[in-house]
Structure 1
Amino acid sequence: MTPAISFMIVVFIGLIILFSSFVTVKQGTIAVVTVFGKYRRILHPGLNLKLPLIEQIHSRISIQNRSVELEFQAVTIDQAKVYFKAMLLYSVLDQMEETIKNVAFKFVDERNLMQALIRTIEGSIRAYVATKKQADVLILRGDIVEHVKGQLDQVLESWGYHLQDLQLNDITFDDVILKSMSQVVASNNLKAAAENEGQALLITKTKAAEAEGNAIKIAAEAERQAAQLRGQGIALFREEVAKGMTAAAKEMHEADMDTSVIMFTMWTESIKHFAENSQGNVIFLDGSTDAMQKTLKEVMSLNLLHADNVKKGK
């Protein structure tokens, strides 16, 4: 081998060693370096140097948020099957060296980590649901999440991870249970509707009775006032008639005329009024001479009595 070829081989090997000394770590990732299989140090994002042929990149740990979807079932205390669909959001706890060491060496690989994480969460939810009735599971969604977080925080921190969120996206039951739950809801709705209808009918009848009572009171008051006004009108009419007759009688007496003419005139006016305003009714009046004379005598007697009263008053 010529010296030129040997020099080129040495240069080539040197370049390989030189370039292998540079390591690029992507943003959101931390590289774990080992020396002959033993942990040595960590490399942060950016361009880093390592000892060529001695230090090796064991793994690259993502410190970004990761999510995984879960589907599993649980059994309630009253033996009802509950089917869950959930979304798990987790991440590396922090970027401290001890945390990264736990993440890198606690599990053989990512697959084993995910299996342990999922099974732990499923087991925690199943244990909690097993103490509850199926009717209570739907309203305990938030309580289930809080229970899982409380149970798993310490375990996950020992692995170097943190459970950020657990969302129970869907909680379902067997078809038979769903139908029975629908029937219960429907019956409760019918019961509530019947109660509301009864209350509405009671209110309607109560209001109608109050309105009828008020109407009767108003009508009675109006009738009372009308009767009072009618009575006052009749009294005023009679008072005015009496005044008119007294004045007419006085004038005729002063003129030395027979006051019976007034009664005769009223008699004829009454007959005329009955004839004009009878409206088909039949009124029997004794219009004979004897009846008229009898009436006039009675009127004249009243006049004499009235005159005596007037004189006594003087």
Structure 2
Amino acid sequence: MDIALLIILVFGLFILLSSFFTVKQQTAVIIERFGKYLSIRQSGLHLKIPLMDRIAGRVNLKIQQLDVIIETKTKDNVFVKLKVSVQFMVVKETVYDAFYKLEYPHDQITSYVFDVVRAEVPKLKLDDVFERKDDIAIAVKRELNEAMTTYGYTIINTLVTDIDPDIQVKNAMNRINAADREKTVAEFEAEASRIRIVAKAKAEAESKRLQGQGIADQRREIARGLVESVDVLNRVGINSQEASALIVVTQHYDTLQAIGADSNSNLILLPNSPQAGSEMLNNMVASFSASNQVGEMMKKGNRKKERQDSKESTMDTDRYLEPEDPQDTEKEE
């Protein structure tokens, strides 16, 4: 009797404990009675009739993700692998449909993803597949929503997370990109070289301009100094030719002294014999003499023109013109 009572107590305790069950958060439980649908229980503590009611299944109400890898061909005959991530969930109000209408939801979703991707990608070239992957994801989501809503599922989002072309195509694309970048680098280097050449040419032109301006200013000041020196010498009774000769000889010896005083100057060989100075002086005197003759001839030509154009009397003309040299008159005749 004690053993039978113990067995009854244990059996009664088992029956009592099996009458209670708990449902986790974001989970739905399907209860069947004698194999027939009875109810859907949400999260919390629940009671069922032992030996009559049973838990037929549990449905996950969380957002789930399914990764699908598809291999297909693009419009330009390039085989490519795409990884599509589908995020989906079961709606609380449609738990019955999700449990009883569809046995393998993952297989169903995979089939629809294959169908949509293999219908969209062959319309695009490989470059367009990379640029329009969001359009592919939107097309997959739209098709899945239309199909899976009937079964109690809703599609949260679809993402094309990876596009992997054939290894040979990938290497060719890398070579194309590398060549394009090398072309861009060459163009920038050529432009930089051109800018450097133009800037250098401008700098040289400006340097030459300033150098020429400096030389012109220097010569102008030298000429002004020579004029002043000749004027000073004229005032003390030295004529222009003698003054010019004296200045040239002085500058000649000043130059020799300056070259000898500078220890870092390059060696310049100049004729420095006694005849060199005499020859230089004679050349200068001859040059000034020729210059004076040219000037006198120009003056005579001007006077002759004035005499021809003058409408005044001969007496008035003789009054304003200087008396001519007998030698000049013979030359004119």
**Same fold at TM > 0.5:** yes
Q: Which moved more, 1:145-154 or 1:160-169?
A: 160-169
Question: Which residue number corresponds to residue 101 of structure 2?
Answer: 106
**1:159 CA displacement:** 2.4
Q: Distance in 1 between matches of 2:252 and 2:62?
A: 115
Question: Where does structure 2 lack aligned partners over 5 or more consecutive residues?
Answer: 257-271, 280-333
**1:113 CA displacement:** 1.4
**1:24 CA displacement:** 1.2
**1:5 CA displacement:** 7.5
**Letter paired with 1:215:** S
Q: Which has the higher contact order (CA 8 A, sep 6+)?
A: 1
**1:197 equivalent among 189, 196, 205:** 189
1:29-44 matches, cutoff 5 A:
29-44=27-42
Question: Which residue number corresponds to residue 78 of structure 2?
Answer: 80
Q: Distance in 2 between matches of 1:180 and 1:271?
A: 80
**1:284 equivalent among 278, 289, 302:** 278
Q: Return closer, same or farther for 1:220/1:153 CA change in 2, 3 Å cut-off.
A: farther
**Letter paired with 2:110:** I
**1:76 CA displacement:** 0.9
User: Over residues 56-87 of structure 1, what are the superposed CA-to-partner deviations in whole Å (9 max), with x where a residue is unaligned?
Assistant: 21210112232333322011112211112344
Q: Distance in 2 between matches of 1:125 and 1:162?
A: 19
SS at match of 2:68: strand
**Letter paired with 2:89:** S
1:208-247 matches, cutoff 5 A:
208-243=200-235, 245=236
Question: Which residue number corresponds to residue 89 of structure 2?
Answer: 91
**1:131 equivalent among 123, 135, 142:** 123
Question: Which residue number corresponds to residue 107 of structure 2?
Answer: 115
Q: Return closer, same or farther for 1:29/1:68 CA change in 2, 3 Å cut-off.
A: same
SS at match of 2:92: coil
SS at match of 1:144: helix
Q: Distance in 1 between matches of 2:40 and 2:61?
A: 13
User: Over residues 273-310 of structure 1, what are the superposed CA-to-partner deviations in whole Å (9 max), with x where a residue is unaligned?
Assistant: 5996584252127xxxxxxxxxxxxxxxxxxxxxxxxx
User: Over residues 136-189 of structure 1, what are the superposed CA-to-partner deviations in whole Å (9 max), with x where a residue is unaligned?
Assistant: 222333332233223322323332223334443432222332233233223323
**Letter paired with 1:283:** G
Q: Which moved more, 1:271-280 or 1:229-238?
A: 271-280
Question: Which residue number corresponds to residue 25 of structure 1?
Answer: 23
Q: Distance in 2 between matches of 1:274 and 1:239?
A: 17
**Letter paired with 1:284:** S
Q: Distance in 2 between matches of 1:142 and 1:160?
A: 25
TM-score, L = length of structure 1: 0.69
Q: Which moved more, 1:57-66 or 1:31-40?
A: 31-40
SS at match of 2:212: helix
Q: Distance in 2 between matches of 1:203 and 1:150?
A: 56
**1:133 CA displacement:** 0.7
Question: Which residue number corresponds to residue 253 of structure 1?
Answer: none
Aligned residue-pair number: 263
- Over aligned residue pairs, what C-alpha RMSD do you find? 3.6
% of aligned pairs identical? Answer: 24
Q: Return closer, same or farther for 1:21/1:235 CA change in 2, 3 Å cut-off.
A: same
TM-score, L = length of structure 2: 0.66
Q: Distance in 1 between matches of 2:250 and 2:127?
A: 91
Q: Return closer, same or farther for 1:49/1:224 CA change in 2, 3 Å cut-off.
A: same
